[in-house]
């Protein structure tokens, strides 16, 4: 018994390690922006009288989290004039990201969505929030890996997740309670209430900024054998900016054509959701292909620094395919892209659903946000314990199955209507499952990542796991309009069924049998 007692004492003491405590505050800072893009913003727009389809389109702003691998190498390489020399590479980018997140949130607060043309301004500010928040995530992940050895990584991750959930509670339940207390309800919309709420949320980013100024810069475990000049870094940045500008230009120039084509297809197919999905898929494909052509053309100019691009983008990808082989690597990427599809697609419109069936913001904040938070944390601890005892693959199976099953419980709530007891039951099952599945999934992604390329590879994995779900989630409002809530919940649950087959195929490979 004495050795076990000593072990518990050592573990508890390790939670007070400065790096572990730092990750709690960074988790809080990272957890603030997400719900300001998703649920809180959805309820604001819904109270302002914006239709469901438009409300859920705003969730696409969070696609920045799914494309962050594109600029992760830039964050990893580019110095910030003045700040990098003063704070160091990681802290400089952290401070810039946290400041721009706060500015983006405050910019959203300045827009009343009921005014003519205001939705376009709000969309721009929300996209900026998604981009800057995803940038903060990239740097925090890199900081966590570089600031401590393997013996502290598990504790740092636990601390980060706890802080992240509290940050989500603050921007989720906190913003709903504050907006309601300031006088905005579904029956009586108040722009000043939401304006003040988002301004207060912007101030919460001071937690992360102060942390950045206090901590010390981590060591860089992997340095490049080559030294690059400021002009070479500037060329690298110029190519990236050109790609982004091209992507945006394609979307702007095809806006009218897309509207006309969507109308034509809707008349032809008699299905607005399918027509919108086809048109936006074509639009995205055209934008990506155009960017590829522009980048290829720029690669023939002096702007293209081949060695820098190869180190930043190609080596992390090449390493992954070399370690697992082409077929297994592709299977793993498909699995990563699909594992959370059912959960995320349903989550985009869940808060709107709760309000539509009669729950108040206070009830949503108390049950969904606060009580749900503790159920998610409990699920995370349970998932971690089961993964240690029975292996990650088995818990991935369990998480995938329970996700399909618990999402079907929303059908029960849809037919029952405003029943607080059923809401508690559904949230208990759904959030416990989400925590369990997430814990196993993060453990699985960590096993896939090569420490030498952690920042870029982890950014690729975490981007991929939300790309397809968030894209489809943007149409969730249109799906509800066409299918109704029961039909939508059934469809969202069935989306998770193929995941079970993907896990089986992965487990057949020697590397994942144990």
pLDDT value of residue 332: 92
pLDDT of 2 over the 50 cut: no
pLDDT value of residue 255: 77
pLDDT value of residue 209: 94
Tokens of residue 325, six digits: 């082989």
Tokens of residue 92, six digits: 């400089």
Ranges 242-246, 303-307, 419-423: which has the least confidence: 303-307
Q: Which of 36-40, 133-137, 393-397, 475-479 has the highest mean pLDDT?
A: 133-137
What is Dmax (Cα atoms) for the chain?
A: 75
pLDDT of 68 over the 60 cut: yes
Q: Could you state, in order of their start, the residue ranges of all structural domains in the chain?
A: 18-221, 229-304, 322-514
User: Is the model more confident about 51 or about 498?
Assistant: 498
Q: What is the mean pLDDT of the chain?
A: 81
Question: 62: pLDDT confidence band, cut at 50, 70 and 90?
Answer: low
Q: Which of 372-376, 447-451, 463-467 has the highest mean pLDDT?
A: 372-376
pLDDT of 58 over the 70 cut: no
User: Is the model more confident about 71 or about 191?
Assistant: 191
pLDDT of 221 over the 70 cut: no
Question: 30: pLDDT confidence band, cut at 50, 70 and 90?
Answer: very high
Question: 32: pLDDT confidence band, cut at 50, 70 and 90?
Answer: very high
User: Tokens 């690729």 appear where?
Assistant: 460
The predicted-structure confidence for 477-487, as pLDDT tens digits, reads as follows 777 777 788 88
Q: Do domains 18-221 and 322-514 have the same CATH topology?
A: yes
Total length of the chain: 514
Tokens of residue 330, six digits: 């592709």
What is the C-alpha separation between 155 and 394, in angstroms, rounded? Answer: 23
pLDDT of 379 over the 90 cut: no
pLDDT value of residue 6: 38
Question: 292: pLDDT confidence band, cut at 50, 70 and 90?
Answer: confident
The predicted-structure confidence for 106-159, as pLDDT tens digits, reads as follows 999 998 888 887 887 888 888 889 889 989 998 888 887 777 765 566 567 767
User: Is the model more confident about 330 or about 445?
Assistant: 330
Tokens of residue 173, six digits: 């339940």
Ranges 383-387, 409-413, 462-466: which has the least confidence: 383-387
**Could you tell me which residues come within 8 angstroms of residue 431 by beta carbon, excluding any fewer than 6 positions away?**
372, 373, 375, 376, 379
pLDDT value of residue 53: 62
Its sign, for the CA torsion 493, 498, 501, 505, is negative
CB 336 within 8 A of CB 465: yes
In this structure, CATH architecture of domain 18-221: Up-down Bundle (1.20)
pLDDT value of residue 195: 92
CA nearest neighbour of 427 among 386, 352, 370:
370
- Residues of the chain above pLDDT 90, percent: 14
Phi first, then psi, for residue 336 (nearest 5°) are: -60, -40
The predicted-structure confidence for 494-503, as pLDDT tens digits, reads as follows 888 998 999 8
The predicted-structure confidence for 193-220, as pLDDT tens digits, reads as follows 999 999 999 999 999 999 999 988 887 6
CA-angle at 304, arms to 298 and 305, nearest 5°: 165
If you classify domain 322-514 with CATH, what class do you get?
mainly alpha
What is the C-alpha separation between 496 and 341, in angstroms, rounded? Answer: 6
Phi-psi region at 49: left, alpha or beta (left = phi > 0; alpha = psi -120 to 50): left
Ranges 55-59, 247-251, 383-387, 472-476: which has the least confidence: 55-59
Neighbour count for residue 67 (Cβ, 10 Å): 18
The DSSP symbol for 312 reads I
Burial class (CB in 10 A: 0-12, 13-18, 19+), 154: middle
Ranges 3-12, 222-231, 323-332, 381-390: which has the least confidence: 3-12
CB 331 within 8 A of CB 31: no
pLDDT value of residue 514: 56
Question: How does 200-230 read in b/e, with b if 16+ C-beta sit within 10 Å?
Answer: bbbebbebbbebbeebebbeeeeeeeeebee
pLDDT value of residue 92: 92
User: Is the model more confident about 9 or about 309?
Assistant: 309
């Amino acid at each position: 018994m004495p050795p076990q007692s000593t072990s518990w004492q050592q573990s508890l003491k390790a939670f007070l390690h400065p790096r572990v405590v730092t990750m709690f505050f960074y988790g809080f800072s990272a957890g603030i922006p997400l719900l300001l893009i998703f649920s809180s913003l959805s309820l604001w727009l819904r109270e302002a009288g914006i239709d469901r389809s438009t409300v859920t389109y705003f969730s696409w702003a969070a696609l920045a989290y799914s494309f962050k691998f594109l600029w992760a190498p830039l964050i990893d390489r580019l110095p910030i004039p003045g700040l990098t020399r003063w704070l160091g590479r990681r802290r400089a980018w952290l401070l810039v990201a946290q400041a721009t997140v706060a500015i983006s949130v405050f910019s959203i607060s300045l827009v009343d969505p009921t005014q003519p043309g205001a939705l376009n301004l709000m969309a721009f500010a929300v996209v900026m929030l998604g981009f800057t928040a995803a940038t903060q995530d990239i740097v925090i992940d890199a900081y966590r890996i570089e600031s401590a050895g393997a013996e502290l990584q598990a504790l740092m991750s636990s601390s980060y997740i706890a802080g992240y959930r509290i940050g989500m509670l603050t921007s989720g339940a906190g913003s709903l309670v504050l907006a309601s207390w300031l006088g905005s309800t579904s029956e009586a919309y108040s722009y000043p209430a939401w304006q003040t709420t988002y301004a207060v949320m912007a101030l919460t980013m001071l937690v992360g900024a102060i942390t950045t100024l206090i901590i010390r810069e981590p060591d860089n475990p992997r340095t490049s054998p080559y030294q690059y000049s400021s002009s070479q870094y500037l060329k690298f940045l110029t190519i990236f900016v050109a790609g982004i500008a091209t992507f945006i230009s394609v979307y702007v120039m095809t806006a009218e054509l897309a509207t006309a084509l969507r109308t034509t297809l809707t008349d032809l197919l008699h299905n607005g959701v399918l027509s919108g999905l086809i048109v936006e898929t074509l639009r995205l494909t055209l934008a990506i292909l155009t960017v590829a052509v522009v980048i290829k053309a720029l690669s023939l100019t002096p702007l293209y620094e081949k060695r820098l691009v190869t180190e930043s983008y190609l080596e992390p990808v090449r390493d992954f395919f070399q370690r697992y082989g082409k077929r297994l690597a592709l299977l793993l990427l498909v699995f990563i892209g699909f594992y959370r599809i059912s959960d995320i697609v349903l989550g985009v419109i869940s808060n709107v659903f709760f309000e539509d069936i009669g729950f108040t913001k206070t009830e949503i904040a108390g049950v969904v946000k606060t009580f749900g938070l503790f159920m998610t944390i409990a699920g995370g601890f349970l998932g971690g314990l089961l993964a240690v005892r029975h292996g990650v693959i088995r818990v991935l199976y369990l998480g995938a199955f329970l996700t399909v099953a618990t999402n079907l419980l929303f059908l029960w709530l849809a037919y029952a209507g405003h029943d607080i007891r059923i809401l508690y039951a559904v949230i208990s099952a759904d959030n416990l499952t989400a925590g369990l599945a997430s814990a196993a999934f993060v453990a699985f992604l960590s096993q896939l990542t090569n420490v030498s390329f952690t920042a870029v590879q982890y950014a690729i994995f975490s981007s991929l796991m939300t790309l397809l779900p968030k894209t489809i989630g943007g149409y969730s409002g249109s799906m509800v309009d066409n299918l109704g809530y029961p039909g939508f919940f059934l469809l969202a649950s069935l989306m998770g069924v193929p995941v079970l087959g993907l896990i089986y195929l992965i487990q057949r490979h020697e590397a994942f049998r144990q």
